[in-house]
Amino acid sequence: MGNRFLISFSYEGTNFHGYQKQGKLRTVQKEIEIVLKKINNNQTITIYAVSRTDKKVHALNQFAHFDLKINIKPDKLKRAMNTYLPEDIYIKTVKIVPADFYARYRAKKKEYEYIIETGEYDLFQRNYIYYFPHKLNIYQIKKALKQLKGEHDFTSFVSAEETRENKIRTIYKASVKKKKTLIYFNFQGNGFLKYQIRNMIGTLLMVGLGKKKPEDIKVILENKDRRSANKTANPEGLYLKNIWFD
């Protein structure tokens, strides 16, 4: 009876204390599980997501799997979930997967985007873009990004709160582009650690300001010391953009 489902969903992270459940705090996982419990004849459901985004971080394509005891078709489940979920979460796709499918372990590549506004402050974008009104040298930032590509120990760019001992990750793509006053950073890798992208952004901005050299990135990585890098960039500009499975 029942099936294992894989869902893709988006959420606007402004009013969440991150994705993962944290006691009585409002989180994305908690809101979805409340709805699934209602659909599943009041039986508790645990969902298992691929990524654990932080407070105020947004997601365009997050994925999670879970088991339901009831028999329900994917399209009907999607409609039911979106009917009960709050407006800042939306279920995009629902499909049945094999009983041994585990979303987190089947994910092979993740993509994040970070958006910065260097021009005039826009009140209505304050929850979606990091406001940083400074002239940045994009050429120098591009040189620095090359140092981050490949397999590295990212200890210097990881929060002290990170519980995973293995800090080695591979970044396949690290790019930046400018459109008028907006700066877009894009990172694709096999996984990212707590605050890793925001910490890298904080240091890359110092490179763009001329306060650090692109070559300093290599030294920072080798130091394996969080104090070697710069402060953590704000969460508002960060988006979980996509996830690829094997």
**This prediction's pTM:** 0.95
Which CA distances in Å does 232 have to 117, 159, 201?
17, 9, 7
Tokens of residue 209, six digits: 């300001």
Say if residues 114 and 233 touch (Cβ distance below 8 Å).
yes
What residues act catalytically?
Answer: 54
State percent of the chain over pLDDT 70.
100
Residue 131 has pLDDT above 80, yes or no: yes
Domain at 3-101: CATH code: 3.30.70.580
Domain boundaries, the chain: 3-101, 108-245
- Over residues 43-58, mean pLDDT: 96
186-235 pLDDT tens trace: 999 999 999 999 999 999 999 999 999 999 999 999 999 999 999 999 99
147-157 pLDDT tens trace: 999 999 999 99
Write phi, then psi, for 208 (nearest 5 degrees): -65, -30
Instruction: Give the pLDDT band of residue 165 (cuts 50, 70, 90).
Output: confident
179-193 pLDDT tens trace: 999 999 999 999 999
Domains 3-101 and 108-245 share a fold: yes
Residue given tokens 């406001």 in the structure block: 131
Residue 163 has pLDDT above 80, yes or no: no
Three-state SS for 113?
A: strand
Domain at 108-245: CATH code: 3.30.70.660
**Predicted pLDDT of residue 225:** 93
Three-state SS for 118?
A: coil
Tokens of residue 13, six digits: 């992270």
How many CA atoms does the CB half-sphere of 123 hold within 13 Å? 0
